[in-house]
Structure 1
Amino acid sequence: MLYGYDAGVLGGIQSTPQFLDAIGNPKGVFIIPIIASIYNLAAAAMSLAVTLFGMQLGRRKTILLGDLLICIGAAIQASSYSVGQIIVGRIICGCGIGCIASAVPTYMAEMSLEARERGPEVCWQLALLISGVALAYWIDFGFVQGLETRPYLWRVPIAMQACFAIFSAGGLIFLPDTPRWYYYRNRIPEADAILARLHGLPEDHPTVQAQKNEVLASINEEDNAKFNLMHLFWDNSDYQVGRRLRTSFLILFAQQFLGINMLVYFSTTIFLKLGYSHFLSGILAAVLNTVFALASYPPVWYIERIGRRSMMFWTSIGCGICMLVYIVLTTLPESSQNVGTNWSAVAMIMLYMVVFGFGWLGPPWIYGPEIAPLKYRHVAGGLAACGEWLSTWVMVFGGGTGIEAVGPKIFIWPLICCFIAAAYVWFCCPETTGRTLEEIDYLFAKQHVRDRMDQMGIGAAGDMRRHSVQSIEKGTGDARHTEKLDSSSSEEV
C-alpha cells in the first residue's frame, strides 16, 4: 500500500491553487509533469543500482533501506516551499520505491513453498498496491475540501507516506531473509532453519531435505551458466540467462506503455478536460482508482487457473479495444459531443481499469522474478522495476505534456502499444504457471542441459521426486503437510 499510496498521492493535490502557491506558482507546461515524473526516473535509477548491491545486501535489507528513504523523502516533500525542494523529496522517495519494487516480488517468490502459491501471493500484494492508490485519491479528496480555510492541509497526505514505511519496516525487522538467499551466500545453517520454519517441519524431514537438495543443485548448476551483457541482446547460451533477464525488463516496460499510469496520475485532469467541475472530477478520479483496486482482487483466485500468459495476452487486447472506443468518443466533432458521449467515455476508462487490473497488474510482476535464475534473481528484480519505472516516467512526462497539448489524441500512443504487447506476450513469453522456480530453470534450458538436470534431480525429475516423498508421507501419517501436492506441477510431469 505504501508503493501505491506514494504513486497516487500527488495526483489529487498537484492542480490545487494552495499547492501551487506553496511552491511559488511555477510557470510552464513542463513543471508539474517534471515534479510528478521525476519520482519514476529516480525509482528506475535505484532499481538499476539494486542489480549491483542487491545480492550482497539481501532482499530484506534492501526493502528496509527503501522504507528509510521513503521516510526522509516524505518529510522533505511535506515541508516544501519551492519547486526544488519538492523535486528533491520526490527523488529520495523514488529511490526508496526503487528498492522496494526490486526486492519485494523476489522476496515473496523465494518465500513460496509451492508453485501455486506465488501467483496468488504477488497478486494479493499488487491488489493492496492499487488499494493504496485509491486510498491516496480519497484522502486527497477529503483534505482538498478544507484547503480554502487551511491552505497547509495538502501537506498532511504527503506526510502520511512515512506512516506506511514505518509500518512496513516495523513488521519486516521480525522476519528473516529468504532461504534461497542464505543458501546462495553459503549460510547453510540459517537457510536450513528458515526452510524448516516455512514448512513447519524438523530440519531433517524428507520434504525439507528434498527442497534443500534441489535448491543447492540448482545453485551449483547455475554456477556453470556463463553470462555477458551481449546476451541481453542476442542469447543462444545453454541457460538463456540473457533472454530471461531481458524478458524481466521488457514485460514490465510493456506494462506501462499500455497507458495505465497516464490514467492514474492525470485522472483528475482527464475528467476536467471532459468538462466536469473540480469537485466532480475529484470524485470521479477517486472512484476510477477504487474500481481499479476492486478489479485487482479477482486474480488472487484466478491466476493459477488461467495462467500468466493467457491473462496478459487477452487483457492487452481488451485494453486496446477500450482505449480505441474512448479515443473515438472524445475526438468526435463538438457538435456530436454531449452528456451521453462524455459519460460513455468515462465508462470506457472505468472498463479499461477493470480489464487492466485483472490481467496486466499482477502477472508481469510475478513473471520477471520467477523466470530468472537464482544467481541473477536480484538483477531480474532490478531490471523489472527499472523497466516499469522508466516506462512510467516516459508515459507520465510525455502523457502529461501530451494531454495539455493535444488532448485525448495522445491516447493513440498507448492504444498501439496494447496490441504490440499482446504480440510480444504471444510469441516471446512461455507459460510458467504451476512450475517451481527450479523447474523454470529446466523450462529455459537447452535439451542437453535438461538431460543433465534430470540426472541431478532438478526440473521434471525434481518434481517427481517431491511427489514421491509426499506420497510416502501420506502413508506415514504426517497429515498436516502431506496434502500439499502441487497438482498443476504433477499434471505437467
Structure 2
Amino acid sequence: MVNWTRLTTNVYIISSWASIGGIMFGFDIGSNSGTIGTKQYQDYFDHPDALLQGGINAALSAGCFVGALCSGWPADRYSRKFTLIAASALFIVGSLLQSAANGVPMLCAGRVINGISVGITSMVIPLYQSEVAPKEIRGRLVAVQQWSITWGIFLAFWIQTGCAHIQDTAAFRAPWAIQAIPAIVLCAGMWAFPHSPRWLADRGRMEEAIKVLADIHGDGDVNHPRVLVEIQEIQAVIRFDREQASHRYSDLFKPGIAYRVFLGVFLQIWQQLTGMNIIMFYVVFLFQQAGIGNNQDSTLIASGVSYVINVVMTVPAILFVDKWGRRPTLIFGALAMSSFLWIVGGLLTTGDWYIQMDPAQSNYGKWSVTLPNIETTNAVVAFVYLFVASFATTWGPLGWVYPAEIYPLRVRAMAISLSTAANWFFNWLLSFAVPMMMERLRFGLYFLFAAFNFLMALHVWLCYPETKGFTLEEMNIVFEGNPRKKIDRAYVAERMKQTLDADIDHISTHGENDDEKKPQEV
C-alpha cells in the first residue's frame, strides 16, 4: 500500500512537483518558438514582420515582469503554496485564450495572462524549494526547476514539430491548448504538499512549522537533532528580524540587504544577457538565417536538437552543483559561453550576406547568409550546441538557485520578486528587440552577447561569495566577508552558535513576548 504521507513529505517529490511550474514556462516557450516558423502560423497571422513578431513574443515577458514584481505580497500573505495554486489556474485561462485566438490581439492577451502566471511561478518555486530543502542539497533541488523548464521546451517543441504537418490552424492551436495540461496537474496536486516551514514560522504558526520540518527532515520525529537545530535557528532569526526590522519593501535598501538585492537583481539580468533565451525563442530563425537545412522539416529538427541538449546537460548541474560550488560554476559557464559565441560570430562573418525576399510580402525581406562550405555550416551548428550545453550546466540552474538562498526571511519573498522581475524585464526587452537586431547587426549580435558573458564572469569573480553548504539563516554571516576569499565554515558555525546562545539568554532574561507568537502583518 502506498504511504501518501511519506510521498508528500519527501523533499525530492515536493521540489519536483512544484517544478511543474517550470514545465508550464517551457511549454509556452517551446510551442511558440516552433510555431513561428510554420507556414500555417505565418499565413493565419498575415506574416508578422520583425517588429510585430517581437511584440507577440514580448507579450509573454511583459506579463512575466508584472507577475514577478507583484508576487512577493501574496507569497508572504497567503503562502508560497497557495500562490502557486492560483498562478497555475491563471495559466490554464491564458493557454485557452491562445488556443482560441482569432487574431494578434487575442493571442497577445493570452500570452500576457500566461506571462503573469509564469512570472509568479518563476519567483515562488525557487523560494518554496529553498525553504524546504536541507542545506546540503538545496542547489540540487532548486536546479530541478530549470530542468523542468528544459523539459517543457523540449516536449512542446517536438509536439509542435509533429503538429506542423497539420494543414490547418490546429497546427498551432493544438500545442497552445496542450500546454494547459501541466498547469492542471500542478493546480490539482499542490494541495497535498506542505506549506513552507519558514513561512509558517514567520506567520506565528510554530507548531505547524515544527511538524513540517520533522516530516521532511526528521522522518516525522520532532526531537530529531537536525529539526531541533533548524527550528532554533529559524526562531532566532525571526526574533531578531522582528526586533530590528519590518516586512516592508523599504527594507530592501537598508545596509546589509541592499548589496545582496543588487547581486540577486544583476545575476538575473546577466542570465538574460547570456543570450540563451534568445536562442531558445529564435533558434528556428537563427538556423534559417545561416542557411541550415534546405526545408522546414530539416530546420526544425536541427533546431530541436538544441532542446535535447538543453535537457540532457542540465542533469550534471542537478547532480553536482552542490559539489562544484556556485562561484566556479558561474565563472566557468560565462567564459565558455563567451568563447563559443565569439566563434559563432566569427564563422558567420565568412559568409555572403544577402536579403532574402518574403514571397508573401514583395517589399519585405530578411537577411540570410550563404556560408562558404558545409564544414563551416556544421561548425556553426556545433558551437551553438556547445553554447546551449554550457548554459544548461551552469547559468541555467544557478540563475535561479543563487537569488533564492541569499536573503533574510523577512525580505526573501520581496527580494526574489524584485530580482525575478528584473529577469523578465530584460527578457521582454530582448524578446522585443532581437528580431530587429538579428536583421541589423547580423553576426555582430553574437559578438555583443559574447562580450556580455565575459563581463558577467568578471562581475561574479569580484562580487559574489560562495553560498554552497550554508543554511539560509547563516547567509547574514556569509555576506560579511570578502567574496573572493574562501569562507571558513568553522567560523560561520561558531558565529551562528553565538547567535543562538544570545537568543536563549534573551528569552531566559526577558521571557517570550506573546506578540511574537502572532502572525506578522505584511
Q: TM-score, normalised by structure 2?
A: 0.82
Task: Output the CA distance in 2 between the equivalents of 1:220 and 1:444.
Answer: 20
* 1:221 corresponding residue in structure 2: 240
The alignment status of 1:421 with 2:456, answered yes or no, reads yes
- 1:319 Cα deviation after fit: 0.2
Q: Percent identity?
A: 25
Task: Output the CA distance in 1 between the equivalents of 2:137 and 2:267.
Answer: 21
Q: Is the 8 A contact 1:292 1:354 kept in 2?
A: yes
Task: Look up the equivalent residue of 1:90 and give its one-letter code.
Answer: R
Task: Output the CA distance in 2 between the equivalents of 1:125 and 1:131.
Answer: 10
The 5 A counterparts of 1:54-453 are 54-112=75-133, 114-146=134-166, 148=167, 150-198=168-216, 199-226=218-245, 237=255, 240-275=256-291, 276=293, 277-334=295-352, 337-445=372-480
Q: Is the 8 A contact 1:218 1:458 kept in 2?
A: no
| Cα-Cα RMSD | 2.5
- 1:41 Cα deviation after fit: 1.5
Q: Is the 8 A contact 2:60 2:112 kept in 1?
A: yes
Task: Look up the equivalent residue of 2:221 and give its one-letter code.
Answer: P
Task: String of CA shifts for 1:63-102, please: whole Å, max 9, x gaps.
Answer: 1111011000000000001110000000000000011001
Task: Output the CA distance in 2 between the equivalents of 1:230 and 1:186.
Answer: 23
| Partner SS for 1:41 | helix
* 1:456 corresponding residue in structure 2: 499
Task: Output the CA distance in 1 between the equivalents of 2:416 and 2:178.
Answer: 27
Higher mean alpha-carbon deviation, 328-337 vs 358-367, is at 328-337
Q: Is the 8 A contact 1:70 1:162 kept in 2?
A: yes
Q: Is the 8 A contact 2:346 2:443 kept in 1?
A: no
Q: Rate the CA distance shift 1:229–1:206 in 2: closer, same or farther, 3 A.
A: closer
- Pairing partner for 2:63 from 14, 33, 42: 42
Task: Look up the equivalent residue of 1:22 and give its one-letter code.
Answer: Y
Q: Is the 8 A contact 1:72 1:92 kept in 2?
A: yes
Which runs of 5 or more structure 1 residues have no equivalent in the other structure? 463-493
Task: String of CA shifts for 1:326-378, please: whole Å, max 9, x gaps.
Answer: 00001114387221111101111000011111111111211101001111111
Task: Output the CA distance in 2 between the equivalents of 1:269 and 1:259.
Answer: 15
* 2:356 corresponding residue in structure 1: none
Task: Look up the equivalent residue of 1:125 and give its one-letter code.
Answer: Q
Task: String of CA shifts for 1:200-235, please: whole Å, max 9, x gaps.
Answer: 1332444322211111101112335548878867x6
Q: Rate the CA distance shift 1:232–1:320 in 2: closer, same or farther, 3 A.
A: farther
Task: String of CA shifts for 1:384-413, please: whole Å, max 9, x gaps.
Answer: 321221121122222122113332322222
Task: Output the CA distance in 2 between the equivalents of 1:186 and 1:135.
Answer: 42
- Pairing partner for 1:12 from 21, 24, 34: 34
Q: Rate the CA distance shift 1:222–1:22 in 2: closer, same or farther, 3 A.
A: same
Task: Output the CA distance in 1 between the equivalents of 2:287 and 2:474.
Answer: 47
Task: Look up the equivalent residue of 1:434 and give its one-letter code.
Answer: G
| Partner SS for 2:101 | coil
Q: Is the 8 A contact 1:26 1:83 kept in 2?
A: no
Task: Output the CA distance in 1 between the equivalents of 2:427 and 2:323.
Answer: 29
- 1:262 Cα deviation after fit: 1.1
* 2:12 corresponding residue in structure 1: none
Q: TM-score, normalised by structure 1?
A: 0.87
Q: Is the 8 A contact 2:80 2:124 kept in 1?
A: yes
Q: Is the 8 A contact 2:474 2:496 kept in 1?
A: no
Task: Look up the equivalent residue of 1:242 and give its one-letter code.
Answer: A
Task: Output the CA distance in 2 between the equivalents of 1:44 and 1:159.
Answer: 23
Q: Is the 8 A contact 2:252 2:415 kept in 1?
A: no
Task: Look up the equivalent residue of 2:37 and give its one-letter code.
Answer: S
| Partner SS for 1:353 | helix
Q: Rate the CA distance shift 1:18–1:265 in 2: closer, same or farther, 3 A.
A: same
Task: Output the CA distance in 1 between the equivalents of 2:393 and 2:71.
Answer: 29
Q: Rate the CA distance shift 1:29–1:458 in 2: closer, same or farther, 3 A.
A: farther
Task: Look up the equivalent residue of 1:19 and give its one-letter code.
Answer: Y
Q: Rate the CA distance shift 1:446–1:17 in 2: closer, same or farther, 3 A.
A: closer
